[in-house]
Protein backbone atom coordinates (compact mmCIF):
# COMPACT_ATOMS: atom_id res chain seq x y z
CA UNK A 1 0.00 0.00 0.00
CA UNK A 2 2.83 2.31 0.84
CA UNK A 3 5.05 1.66 -2.11
CA UNK A 4 2.87 1.63 -5.16
CA UNK A 5 -0.45 3.24 -4.32
CA UNK A 6 -1.53 3.54 -7.95
CA UNK A 7 -0.77 -0.10 -8.74
CA UNK A 8 -2.57 -1.10 -5.55
CA UNK A 9 -5.59 0.99 -6.46
CA UNK A 10 -5.82 -0.47 -9.93
CA UNK A 11 -5.54 -4.00 -8.53
CA UNK A 12 -8.31 -3.12 -6.14
CA UNK A 13 -10.37 -1.71 -8.97
CA UNK A 14 -9.67 -4.80 -11.06
CA UNK A 15 -10.74 -7.16 -8.30
CA UNK A 16 -13.90 -5.13 -7.73
CA UNK A 17 -14.76 -5.19 -11.42
CA UNK A 18 -14.17 -8.93 -11.46
CA UNK A 19 -16.57 -9.41 -8.53
CA UNK A 20 -19.33 -7.54 -10.32
CA UNK A 21 -18.59 -9.34 -13.59
CA UNK A 22 -18.99 -12.70 -11.88
CA UNK A 23 -22.25 -11.56 -10.29
CA UNK A 24 -23.52 -10.39 -13.68
CA UNK A 25 -22.85 -13.82 -15.17
CA UNK A 26 -24.63 -15.89 -12.52
CA UNK A 27 -28.06 -16.06 -14.26
CA UNK A 28 -26.71 -17.34 -17.62
CA UNK A 29 -24.48 -19.72 -15.68
CA UNK A 30 -27.49 -20.95 -13.71
CA UNK A 31 -29.37 -21.49 -16.97
CA UNK A 32 -26.46 -23.36 -18.49
CA UNK A 33 -26.13 -25.59 -15.42
CA UNK A 34 -29.91 -26.01 -15.16
CA UNK A 35 -29.65 -24.83 -11.57
CA UNK A 36 -32.22 -21.99 -11.24
CA UNK A 37 -31.65 -22.32 -7.53
CA UNK A 38 -28.31 -20.50 -7.99
CA UNK A 39 -30.17 -17.32 -8.94
CA UNK A 40 -32.09 -17.31 -5.69
CA UNK A 41 -28.96 -18.11 -3.72
CA UNK A 42 -27.08 -15.19 -5.22
CA UNK A 43 -30.00 -12.79 -4.69
CA UNK A 44 -29.64 -13.61 -1.02
CA UNK A 45 -25.87 -13.14 -1.23
CA UNK A 46 -26.26 -9.72 -2.83
CA UNK A 47 -28.88 -8.59 -0.31
CA UNK A 48 -26.85 -9.79 2.68
CA UNK A 49 -23.72 -8.46 1.01
CA UNK A 50 -25.29 -5.03 0.73
CA UNK A 51 -26.23 -5.16 4.42
CA UNK A 52 -22.64 -6.12 5.28
CA UNK A 53 -21.31 -3.38 2.98
CA UNK A 54 -23.40 -0.79 4.80
CA UNK A 55 -22.03 -2.06 8.11
CA UNK A 56 -18.50 -1.76 6.71
CA UNK A 57 -19.12 1.95 6.23
CA UNK A 58 -19.23 2.50 9.98
CA UNK A 59 -17.28 -0.56 11.17
CA UNK A 60 -14.46 -0.72 8.67
CA UNK A 61 -14.07 2.99 7.92
CA UNK A 62 -15.30 4.65 11.09
CA UNK A 63 -14.22 1.97 13.56
CA UNK A 64 -17.70 2.03 15.11
CA UNK A 65 -18.46 -1.51 16.22
CA UNK A 66 -22.23 -1.69 15.96
CA UNK A 67 -23.79 -4.88 17.21
CA UNK A 68 -27.28 -3.87 16.18
CA UNK A 69 -26.99 -3.33 12.48
CA UNK A 70 -29.52 -6.03 11.60
CA UNK A 71 -32.19 -3.92 13.32
CA UNK A 72 -32.05 -1.39 10.48
CA UNK A 73 -32.13 -4.16 7.89
CA UNK A 74 -35.12 -5.77 9.60
CA UNK A 75 -37.02 -2.53 10.21
CA UNK A 76 -37.05 -1.77 6.50
CA UNK A 77 -38.12 -5.35 5.79
CA UNK A 78 -40.94 -5.10 8.31
CA UNK A 79 -42.05 -1.77 6.83
CA UNK A 80 -42.43 -3.43 3.43
CA UNK A 81 -44.07 -6.47 5.01
CA UNK A 82 -46.51 -4.50 7.16
CA UNK A 83 -47.56 -2.24 4.29
CA UNK A 84 -48.11 -5.39 2.21
CA UNK A 85 -50.15 -6.94 5.03
CA UNK A 86 -52.49 -3.92 5.25
CA UNK A 87 -52.79 -3.76 1.47
CA UNK A 88 -53.95 -7.37 1.61
CA UNK A 89 -56.91 -6.87 3.98
CA UNK A 90 -57.56 -3.17 3.39
CA UNK A 91 -57.01 -2.27 7.05
CA UNK A 92 -54.96 0.64 8.33
CA UNK A 93 -51.56 0.58 10.04
CA UNK A 94 -52.15 1.92 13.58
CA UNK A 95 -55.61 2.86 12.30
CA UNK A 96 -54.06 5.65 10.25
CA UNK A 97 -51.95 4.54 7.32
CA UNK A 98 -53.29 2.42 4.46
CA UNK A 99 -51.13 -0.41 3.17
CA UNK A 100 -49.56 -0.64 -0.25
CA UNK A 101 -47.66 -3.07 -2.43
CA UNK A 102 -46.38 -0.23 -4.61
CA UNK A 103 -42.60 -0.22 -4.37
CA UNK A 104 -42.41 3.49 -5.15
CA UNK A 105 -44.27 4.20 -1.92
CA UNK A 106 -43.32 1.28 0.32
CA UNK A 107 -39.56 1.35 -0.34
CA UNK A 108 -38.87 5.02 0.32
CA UNK A 109 -41.01 4.62 3.45
CA UNK A 110 -38.90 1.62 4.49
CA UNK A 111 -35.63 3.51 3.99
CA UNK A 112 -37.04 6.46 5.90
CA UNK A 113 -38.02 4.20 8.82
CA UNK A 114 -34.52 2.70 8.95
CA UNK A 115 -32.84 6.09 8.80
CA UNK A 116 -35.16 7.59 11.39
CA UNK A 117 -34.54 4.67 13.74
CA UNK A 118 -30.79 5.01 13.13
CA UNK A 119 -31.00 8.72 13.92
CA UNK A 120 -32.86 8.14 17.20
CA UNK A 121 -30.70 5.20 18.29
CA UNK A 122 -27.55 6.88 17.05
CA UNK A 123 -28.33 10.03 18.98
CA UNK A 124 -27.92 8.04 22.19
CA UNK A 125 -25.24 5.59 21.07
CA UNK A 126 -22.81 8.07 19.53
CA UNK A 127 -22.42 9.84 22.85
CA UNK A 128 -20.10 7.01 23.74
CA UNK A 129 -17.38 5.17 21.91
CA UNK A 130 -15.82 1.72 22.07
CA UNK A 131 -17.43 -0.90 24.26
CA UNK A 132 -20.21 1.36 25.47
CA UNK A 133 -21.23 2.12 21.89
CA UNK A 134 -21.17 -1.59 21.15
CA UNK A 135 -23.37 -2.45 24.15
CA UNK A 136 -25.81 0.39 23.49
CA UNK A 137 -26.34 -0.61 19.86
CA UNK A 138 -26.94 -4.17 21.00
CA UNK A 139 -29.42 -3.04 23.65
CA UNK A 140 -31.46 -0.93 21.25
CA UNK A 141 -31.45 -3.65 18.61
CA UNK A 142 -32.76 -6.09 21.22
CA UNK A 143 -35.56 -3.67 22.07
CA UNK A 144 -36.56 -3.60 18.41
CA UNK A 145 -36.31 -7.39 18.30
CA UNK A 146 -38.56 -7.93 21.32
CA UNK A 147 -40.96 -5.29 20.03
CA UNK A 148 -41.59 -7.28 16.86
CA UNK A 149 -41.51 -10.72 18.41
CA UNK A 150 -44.30 -9.58 20.72
CA UNK A 151 -46.42 -7.85 18.08
CA UNK A 152 -49.17 -10.44 17.55
CA UNK A 153 -50.85 -8.59 14.70
CA UNK A 154 -47.69 -9.09 12.62
CA UNK A 155 -47.10 -12.71 13.52
CA UNK A 156 -44.92 -12.35 16.64
CA UNK A 157 -42.14 -14.93 16.57
CA UNK A 158 -43.72 -16.67 13.60
CA UNK A 159 -43.04 -13.75 11.30
CA UNK A 160 -45.15 -12.20 8.60
CA UNK A 161 -45.68 -13.63 5.14
CA UNK A 162 -46.11 -11.22 2.25
CA UNK A 163 -48.61 -11.64 -0.56
CA UNK A 164 -45.74 -11.38 -3.02
CA UNK A 165 -42.93 -9.05 -4.00
CA UNK A 166 -43.52 -5.31 -4.20
CA UNK A 167 -44.77 -3.96 -7.50
CA UNK A 168 -42.54 -1.79 -9.62
CA UNK A 169 -43.68 0.02 -12.75
CA UNK A 170 -42.10 -1.27 -15.99
CA UNK A 171 -40.22 -4.13 -14.36
CA UNK A 172 -41.77 -7.37 -13.15
CA UNK A 173 -39.61 -8.40 -10.23
CA UNK A 174 -41.73 -11.42 -9.41
CA UNK A 175 -39.60 -13.05 -12.11
CA UNK A 176 -36.42 -14.29 -10.42
CA UNK A 177 -34.04 -13.33 -13.22
CA UNK A 178 -35.52 -9.84 -13.42
CA UNK A 179 -35.30 -9.51 -9.67
CA UNK A 180 -31.74 -10.79 -9.77
CA UNK A 181 -30.61 -8.08 -12.18
CA UNK A 182 -32.59 -5.50 -10.27
CA UNK A 183 -30.71 -6.45 -7.06
CA UNK A 184 -27.46 -6.41 -9.02
CA UNK A 185 -28.14 -2.85 -10.20
CA UNK A 186 -29.09 -1.73 -6.69
CA UNK A 187 -25.93 -3.31 -5.26
CA UNK A 188 -23.78 -1.63 -7.90
CA UNK A 189 -25.38 1.79 -7.37
CA UNK A 190 -25.11 1.51 -3.59
CA UNK A 191 -21.47 0.46 -3.93
CA UNK A 192 -20.69 3.45 -6.16
CA UNK A 193 -22.46 5.79 -3.74
CA UNK A 194 -20.64 4.41 -0.70
CA UNK A 195 -17.33 4.47 -2.52
CA UNK A 196 -17.88 8.14 -3.28
CA UNK A 197 -18.79 8.78 0.35
CA UNK A 198 -15.68 7.13 1.80
CA UNK A 199 -13.50 9.12 -0.60
CA UNK A 200 -15.16 12.45 0.16
CA UNK A 201 -14.30 14.98 2.85
CA UNK A 202 -16.92 13.32 5.00
CA UNK A 203 -15.29 9.96 4.39
CA UNK A 204 -11.86 11.31 5.32
CA UNK A 205 -13.28 12.51 8.65
CA UNK A 206 -14.85 9.09 9.16
CA UNK A 207 -11.54 7.32 8.54
CA UNK A 208 -9.82 9.81 10.80
CA UNK A 209 -12.29 9.01 13.58
CA UNK A 210 -11.12 5.41 13.57
CA UNK A 211 -7.43 6.30 13.54
CA UNK A 212 -7.20 9.21 15.95
CA UNK A 213 -10.24 11.06 17.14
CA UNK A 214 -8.25 13.41 19.34
CA UNK A 215 -6.21 14.56 16.37
CA UNK A 216 -9.38 15.58 14.54
CA UNK A 217 -10.65 17.49 17.57
CA UNK A 218 -7.31 19.29 17.81
CA UNK A 219 -7.57 20.67 14.27
CA UNK A 220 -11.15 21.74 14.85
CA UNK A 221 -13.33 18.81 13.79
CA UNK A 222 -15.98 17.90 16.38
CA UNK A 223 -16.34 14.20 15.62
CA UNK A 224 -19.74 13.34 17.05
CA UNK A 225 -21.93 14.87 14.31
CA UNK A 226 -19.93 12.92 11.75
CA UNK A 227 -20.22 9.66 13.65
CA UNK A 228 -23.97 10.20 13.94
CA UNK A 229 -24.35 11.06 10.25
CA UNK A 230 -22.36 7.96 9.28
CA UNK A 231 -24.60 5.85 11.51
CA UNK A 232 -27.72 7.22 9.82
CA UNK A 233 -26.30 6.81 6.31
CA UNK A 234 -25.30 3.22 7.08
CA UNK A 235 -28.80 2.67 8.49
CA UNK A 236 -30.28 3.91 5.22
CA UNK A 237 -28.22 1.53 3.12
CA UNK A 238 -29.04 -1.27 5.55
CA UNK A 239 -32.67 -0.38 4.86
CA UNK A 240 -32.12 -0.85 1.13
CA UNK A 241 -30.66 -4.28 1.88
CA UNK A 242 -33.66 -5.05 4.10
CA UNK A 243 -36.05 -4.21 1.25
CA UNK A 244 -34.25 -6.61 -1.08
CA UNK A 245 -34.13 -9.30 1.56
CA UNK A 246 -37.84 -9.03 2.43
CA UNK A 247 -38.74 -9.20 -1.24
CA UNK A 248 -36.44 -12.14 -1.77
CA UNK A 249 -38.02 -14.04 1.12
CA UNK A 250 -41.54 -12.56 0.70
CA UNK A 251 -41.45 -13.00 4.43
CA UNK A 252 -40.13 -11.07 7.42
CA UNK A 253 -39.51 -12.36 10.92
CA UNK A 254 -37.83 -11.22 14.13
CA UNK A 255 -34.88 -13.36 13.02
CA UNK A 256 -34.15 -10.70 10.39
CA UNK A 257 -33.36 -8.17 13.10
CA UNK A 258 -31.94 -10.35 15.84
CA UNK A 259 -28.53 -9.92 17.39
CA UNK A 260 -27.38 -13.19 15.81
CA UNK A 261 -28.05 -11.64 12.41
CA UNK A 262 -26.02 -8.58 13.47
CA UNK A 263 -23.25 -10.97 14.45
CA UNK A 264 -23.45 -12.69 11.07
CA UNK A 265 -23.08 -9.31 9.38
CA UNK A 266 -19.96 -8.56 11.44
CA UNK A 267 -18.56 -11.98 10.49
CA UNK A 268 -19.15 -11.23 6.82
CA UNK A 269 -17.39 -7.87 7.06
CA UNK A 270 -14.40 -9.30 8.91
CA UNK A 271 -14.24 -12.34 6.66
CA UNK A 272 -14.45 -10.26 3.49
CA UNK A 273 -12.17 -7.46 4.58
CA UNK A 274 -12.77 -4.42 6.77
CA UNK A 275 -12.79 -1.09 4.99
CA UNK A 276 -13.06 -2.38 1.45
CA UNK A 277 -16.83 -2.17 0.77
CA UNK A 278 -16.76 -4.93 -1.85
CA UNK A 279 -14.99 -7.30 0.55
CA UNK A 280 -18.10 -7.74 2.71
CA UNK A 281 -19.99 -8.95 -0.38
CA UNK A 282 -17.29 -11.58 -0.84
CA UNK A 283 -17.64 -12.29 2.85
CA UNK A 284 -21.39 -12.75 2.49
CA UNK A 285 -20.85 -15.09 -0.47
CA UNK A 286 -18.27 -17.15 1.41
CA UNK A 287 -20.40 -17.25 4.54
CA UNK A 288 -23.65 -18.24 2.86
CA UNK A 289 -22.11 -20.72 0.42
CA UNK A 290 -20.07 -22.37 3.17
CA UNK A 291 -23.17 -22.65 5.28
CA UNK A 292 -25.00 -24.18 2.33
CA UNK A 293 -22.30 -26.70 1.47
CA UNK A 294 -21.23 -27.71 4.97
CA UNK A 295 -24.82 -27.48 6.18
CA UNK A 296 -25.75 -30.24 3.73
CA UNK A 297 -23.42 -32.59 5.64
CA UNK A 298 -23.91 -31.48 9.21
CA UNK A 299 -26.16 -29.15 11.16
CA UNK A 300 -23.14 -28.13 13.22
CA UNK A 301 -21.70 -26.17 10.34
CA UNK A 302 -20.46 -23.43 12.67
CA UNK A 303 -17.87 -25.88 14.00
CA UNK A 304 -16.22 -25.60 10.61
CA UNK A 305 -16.97 -21.95 9.98
CA UNK A 306 -15.60 -20.73 13.32
CA UNK A 307 -12.05 -22.05 12.80
CA UNK A 308 -12.19 -20.85 9.18
CA UNK A 309 -12.99 -17.31 10.32
CA UNK A 310 -10.16 -17.46 12.87
CA UNK A 311 -7.73 -18.61 10.18
CA UNK A 312 -8.75 -15.79 7.88
CA UNK A 313 -8.33 -13.23 10.65
CA UNK A 314 -4.94 -14.68 11.58
CA UNK A 315 -3.48 -15.10 8.11
CA UNK A 316 -5.31 -12.55 5.99
CA UNK A 317 -5.75 -9.48 8.12
CA UNK A 318 -7.37 -7.64 5.25
CA UNK A 319 -9.87 -10.48 4.77
CA UNK A 320 -10.67 -12.38 1.60
CA UNK A 321 -10.62 -9.23 -0.49
CA UNK A 322 -7.19 -8.29 0.82
CA UNK A 323 -6.08 -11.84 0.07
CA UNK A 324 -7.36 -11.66 -3.49
CA UNK A 325 -5.73 -8.29 -4.07
CA UNK A 326 -2.44 -9.35 -2.50
CA UNK A 327 -2.48 -12.73 -4.19
CA UNK A 328 -2.18 -11.10 -7.57
CA UNK A 329 0.88 -9.19 -6.56
CA UNK A 330 4.05 -10.51 -8.19
Partner 1 sequence: MAEPILQTTDLVKRFGGLVATDHVSLSLVPGELHAIIGPNGAGKTTLVAQLSGEMAPTAGRVRFDGQDITDLPMPRRARLGLVRSFQITSICPEFSALDNVAMAVQARLGHSFHFWRNARTDPALIMPARRVLEQVDLAARADVPAGLLSHGEQRQLEVAIALATEPKLLLLDEPMAGMGREESQRMVSFLQTLKRRYTILLIEHDMDAVFALADRISVLVYGKVIATGLPDEVRANPEVQHAYLGDEAEEAAAAEAANA
- Which residues contact partner 1 by CB under 8 A? 1-2, 5, 196-197, 199-205, 207-208, 211-212, 214-222, 226, 229
Cβ proximity to partner 1: between 186 and 204 the closer is: 204
Residue 5: CB minimum distance to partner 1, A: 6
Cβ proximity to partner 1: between 215 and 300 the closer is: 215
Residue 275: CB minimum distance to partner 1, A: 9
Residue 223: CB minimum distance to partner 1, A: 8
Phi, psi of 92 (to 5 degrees): -110, 140
The length of the chain in residues reads 330
- Other Cβ atoms less than 10 A from the Cβ of 163: the count is 13
3-state secondary structure the chain: CCCCHHHHHHHHHHHHHHHHHHHHHHHHHHHHHCCCHHHHHHHHHHHHHHHHHHHHHHHHHCCCCCCCHHHHHHHHHHHHHHHHHHHHHCCEECCCEECCCEHHHHHHHHHHHHHHHHHHHHHHHCCCCHHHHHHHHHHHHHHHHHHHHCCHHHCHHHCEECCCCCECCCCCCCCHHHHHHHHHHHHHHHHHHHHHHHHCHHHHHHHHHHHCHHHHHHHCCCCHHHHHHHHHHHHHHHHHHHHHHHHHHCEECHHHHCHHHHHHHHHHHHHHCCCCCCHHHHHHHHHHHHHHHHHCCCCCCHHHHHHHHHHHHHHCCCHHHHHHHHHCCC
Residue 207: CB minimum distance to partner 1, A: 7
Residue 2: CB minimum distance to partner 1, A: 5
Cβ proximity to partner 1: between 40 and 207 the closer is: 207
Residue 9: CB minimum distance to partner 1, A: 10
Cβ proximity to partner 1: between 162 and 234 the closer is: 234
Cβ proximity to partner 1: between 38 and 229 the closer is: 229
Cβ proximity to partner 1: between 105 and 229 the closer is: 229
Cβ proximity to partner 1: between 1 and 29 the closer is: 1
Residue 326: CB minimum distance to partner 1, A: 17
Cβ proximity to partner 1: between 226 and 259 the closer is: 226
Residue 193: CB minimum distance to partner 1, A: 9
Amino acid sequence: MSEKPSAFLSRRGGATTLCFAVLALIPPLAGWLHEPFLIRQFIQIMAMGLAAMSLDLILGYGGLVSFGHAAFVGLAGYTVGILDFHAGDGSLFLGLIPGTTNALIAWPAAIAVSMLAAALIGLVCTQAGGTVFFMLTLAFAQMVYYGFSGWTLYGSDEGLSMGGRSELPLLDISDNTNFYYFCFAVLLLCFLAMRAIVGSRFGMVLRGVRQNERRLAAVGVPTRPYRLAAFVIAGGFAGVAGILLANYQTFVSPGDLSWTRSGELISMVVLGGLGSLIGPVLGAAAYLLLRLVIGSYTTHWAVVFGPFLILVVLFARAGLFGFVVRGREV
